[in-house]
Structure 1
Amino acid sequence: MKKFSKESIYTTLEAVSEQRKHEIEAVFEFRKENLNVAAKFFENPNVRSSKEELIKNLSLCKEGTIFDYVFFADKNGTCINNYGEYYFIKDVPFFKASINGKPFIYTSHHLPANDGQSFSTITVPVHDENDDVIGVIGGTCIQELTNKLLFQNVVGNISSFLIDFEHNIIAHSEGIAETDEVFNFIKNYKADVEKQKRQQSVINEEQYFIVVDSMMQGDWVLVSMAEKSKISEKYFTVSLWGVLASTFNFLIFSILIMIMVLIYTTHLNQIKRHVFVDPVTQGISYNKFLEDAEKYVKYHKSGSILAVCLDINDFRIFNDLYGFEEGNNLLRLVYKMLKEHISSGLVCRVKSDTFYIITDFEATEAELITKREILTDDFNTLLQRNKKPYHVVFTVGFYRVEEFTTNVSSIFERANLVHNCAKKEGRLNIFYQERLRQDAIKQKVIENTMYDAFTNLEFQMYLQPKCELLSKRLVGAEALVRWESNSGAKRYPDEFIPVFEKTGFIVQLDLYMMECTCQLLRHWIDYGIEPVPISVNQSKHLLLNPIYFNVITTTIEKYNLPPELIEVEITETIMYDNTEALNKLIINLHSYGIRVAIDDFGSGYSSLILLRDIKADVLKIDKTFIYKAERDSKGKKILSSIIQLASTLNMKILAEGVETENQLLMLADLGCREVQGYLFGRPVPAKAFAGTFYRS
Structure 2
Amino acid sequence: MQKHKTLIRRLLIVVISLSVFVGGAIFYVSQLRTTLLSELRTNLMQTAEANARIIEEDIHNEIKTIDSIASMLSNNPSTDAKVLIKDVKDAKENSDFLRFGISGLDGNCYTTDGQKFNIADREYFQSAIQGVSMFSNTFTDVIGKKDINVFASPIYHDGKITNVLFASMETETLSEKLLNETFNDQGFSDVANEEGKIVISSHSKNRKQSIDSITKLNFVDNFDVSQMKNEKTGVEEFITPDKEHRYLAFHRLDINNWYILSIVPSNVVSTQINYFLKMAIVTWLLLAVLFIAIIIYIYISRNKADKKMEELVFYDELTGHYNYNRFRLKVQALLDQGVGNEYTLIEADVRDFKLFNEIYGYQGGDKLLCIIMNACEEQCTKEEACSRISGDRYILLLHTKTEEEIIKRINHIIEAIKYASKGMFSMFNLEYKIGIYMIEESDKDIGKCHDRCAYAKKRIKDTPETFSFFSHEMYEMQLDEKRMESLMESALEASEFKIYLQPKVTLKDKKIHAAEALVRWNSPVYGLIPPYRFIPLFERNGFLEKLDMYMIEEVCRVLENWQKEEKMPIRISVNLSRMYIFKPGFANKIVELVNRHHIEHSMIEFEITENVIYDHSEELRSIIKELQHHGFLIAMDDFGSGYSSLNMLKDIPIDEMKVDQVFFRAEKENKERSFEIIKGVLSMAKSLHIHTVAEGVETEKEVAFLKEAGCDEIQGYYYAKPLCMKDFMEFYHTFQEEDVSL
Q: Distance in 1 between matches of 2:500 and 2:726?
A: 8
1:251 and 1:38, CA in 2 relative to 1: closer, same or farther beyond 3 A? closer
- Residue 501 in structure 1 maps to residue 368 in structure 2: no
* d(CA) in 2 for partners of 1:588, 1:383: 61
Q: Aligned partners of 2:297 and 2:14: how far apart in 1?
A: 26
1:599-678 → structure 2 map (5 Å cutoff):
599-601=637-639, 609=647, 614-628=652-666, 632=670, 633-640=672-679, 642-643=681-682, 651-678=690-717
Asked if the contact 1:306/1:400 (under 8 Å) is kept, the reply is yes
Whether 2:598 is the aligned partner of 1:560: answer yes
2: distance between equivalents of 1:396 and 1:494? 29
Quick one: which amino acid aligns to residue 678 of structure 1?
A: Y
| Distance change in 2, residues 1:176/1:533 (3 Å) | farther
CA contact (8 A) 1:311 1:394 kept: yes
Residue 338 of structure 2 contacts residue 441 of structure 2 at CA under 8 Å; is this kept in 1? Answer: no
Q: Deviations along 1:15-34, whole A, 9 cap, x unmatched?
A: xxxxxxxxxxxxxxxxxx9x
Change (3 A) 1:689 1:246: closer
One-letter code aligned to 2:565: Y
Q: Which whole-Å CA distance do the structure 2 matches of 1:181 and 1:608 have between them?
A: 116
Measure the CA separation in 1 of the matches of 2:448 and 2:322: 20
Could you tell me how far apart the structure 2 residues matched to 1:329 and 1:258 are? 43
> Distance between the aligned counterparts of 1:645 and 1:173, measured in 2?
115
1:349 to 379, 388, 402: 388
| Partner residue in 1 for 2:548 | 510
Following the alignment from structure 1 to structure 2, what is the Cα–Cα distance between the partners of residues 491 and 259? 67
Rounded Cα–Cα distance in structure 2 between residues aligned with 1:414 and 1:564 = 51
Aligned residue identity for 1:681? A
Residue 461 (structure 1) aligns with: 499
**Alignment partner of 1:689: what SS?**
helix
CA deviations over 1:562-604 (Å, ceiling 9, x no partner): 2222222233444565555444433432333323333234557
Number of residue equivalences: 516
Match of residue 588 from structure 1: 626
Cα pair 1:301 1:404 within 8 Å, conserved: no
Q: Is 1:534 paired with 2:401?
A: no
- 2:33 and 2:552 map into 1 onto residues whose CA distance is 80
One-letter amino acid matched to 1:355: Y
Return the letter of the residue paired with 1:417.
Y
Residues 683 and 36 of structure 1, relative CA distance in 2, 3 Å threshold: same
Of structures 1 and 2, the larger Rg is shown by 2
Q: Distance in 1 between matches of 2:462 and 2:236?
A: 89
Match of residue 29 from structure 1: none
Superposed CA offset, 1:56-113 (max 9, x none): xxxxxxxxxxxxxxxxxxxxxxxxxxxxxxxxxxxxxxxxxx9xx9997899xxxxxx
Of the candidates 463, 470, 489, which is equivalent to residue 432 of structure 1?
470
Is 2:494 aligned against 1:446? no
- Tell me which residue corresponds to 1:6: none
2:87 alignment partner in structure 1: none
Change (3 A) 1:631 1:232: same
1:490 aligns with 2:528: yes
Question: In structure 2, how many angstroms separate the alpha carbons of the residues matched to 1:255 and 1:608?
Answer: 90
User: Measured at CA, do residues 617 and 419 of structure 1 come closer, stay the same or move farther in structure 2, by a change above 3 Å?
Assistant: farther
| d(CA) in 1 for partners of 2:367, 2:234 | 79
Who is 1:519 aligned against? 557
Change (3 A) 1:244 1:459: closer
Matching residue of 1:161: 28
Partner residue in 1 for 2:722: 683
* TM-score normalised by structure 2 residue count: 0.58
Matches within 5 A, 1:270-285: 270-278=308-316, 281-285=319-323
**Deviation, structure 1 residue 467:** 2.2
Q: Secondary structure at the match of 1:543?
A: coil
| Distance verdict in 2 for CA 1:327–1:296, change over 3 Å | same
Distance 1:537-1:431 versus aligned 2 partners, 3 A rule? same
CA distance, structure 2, for counterparts of residue 449 and residue 492 of structure 1 = 15
2:427 counterpart SS class: coil
Q: How many angstroms apart in 1 are the aligned matches of 2:33 and 2:561?
A: 88
Q: Deviations over 1:462-504 (max 9, x none)?
A: 1111122343332311111112234792121112222323333
The one-character-per-residue Cα deviations of 1:511-564 (angstroms, maximum 9, x if unpaired) are 111110111111111111253221112333332433433322221111122222
What TM-score comes out, normalization by structure 1 length?
Answer: 0.61
Q: Offset of 1:302 from its aligned partner?
A: 8.0
Q: Which residue is 2:344 aligned to? A: 306
Describe the superposition over 1:312-353 as per-residue Cα deviations: whole angstroms up to 9, x where unpaired. Answer: 334444456666666555444433333344556222334554
Contact between 1:37 and 1:265, CA under 8 Å: does it hold in 2? no
Shift of 1:693: 1.6
- Residue 291 of structure 1: aligned partner: 329
Q: 1:246 to 1:457 in 2, by over 3 A?
A: closer
Q: Aligned in 2, Cα 1:261/1:444: closer, same or farther, shift over 3 Å? A: same
Residues 122-173 of structure 1 show CA distances to partners (whole Å, capped at 9, x for unaligned) of: 9xxxxxxxxxxxxxxxxxxxxxxx99x977xxxxxxx96279xxxxx8xx89
Q: Which amino acid aligns with 1:393?
A: E
Indicate yes or no: 2:589 matched with 1:551.
yes
Q: CA RMSD in A?
A: 4.8
d(CA) in 1 for partners of 2:306, 2:502: 68
* 3-state SS, counterpart of residue 460 of structure 2: helix
Counterparts of 1:625 and 1:341, CA distance in 2:
55
User: 1:316 and 1:640 mapped to 2: Cα distance?
Assistant: 52
- Residue number in structure 2 paired with 1:218: none
Paired with 2:530 and 2:33, the residues of 1 have a C-alpha distance of 78
Give yes or no for contact 2:350–2:392 (8 Å, CA) kept in 1.
yes
| Contact residue 460 and residue 484 of structure 1 kept, 8 A | yes
SS in 1 for 2:428: coil
Contact 1:629 1:635 in 2 (8 A): no
Equivalents in 2 of 1:554, 1:669: separation in Å? 41
Native 8 Å contact 1:656 1:677 kept in 2: yes
Greater shift, 653-662 or 239-248, is seen at 239-248
Q: 1:260: which partner in 2?
A: 298
Question: How many angstroms apart in 2 are the aligned matches of 1:331 and 1:674?
Answer: 63
Encode CA deviations 1:266-316: one digit per residue, 9 max, x unaligned: 435544544434455444343432321134467897875322232333444
Alpha-carbon distance between aligned partners in 1 of 2:283 and 2:315, rounded to the nearest angstrom: 47
Shift of 1:680: 2.3
For residues 178 and 357 of structure 1, what CA distance do their matches in structure 2 show?
A: 73
Return the structure number with greater relative CO, CA threshold 8 A, min gap 6: 1
Cα contact 1:525–1:531 (8 A) shared by 2: yes
Kindly provide the amino acid, as one letter, of the partner of residue 434 in structure 1.
H
2:201 is the counterpart of 1:334: no
Give the match's secondary structure for 1:476.
Answer: strand
Matches of 1:605 and 1:205 in 2, distance apart? Answer: 116
For 1:543 and 1:38, how far apart are their aligned partners in 2?
68
Report if the CA contact (8 A) 1:383-1:389 is conserved: no
User: Partner of 2:399 in structure 1?
Assistant: 360
Structure 2 unaligned residues grouped into runs of 5+:
43-219, 224-232, 239-265, 738-742
Write the distance in 2 (CA, Å) between the matches of 1:207 and 1:686: 106
Is the 1:611–1:646 contact (alpha carbons within 8 Å) kept by the matching residues of 2? no
* In structure 2, C-alpha distance between the alignment counterparts of 1:181 and 1:581, rounded to whole Å: 102
Partner of residue 453 from structure 2, selected from 415, 423, 430 = 415
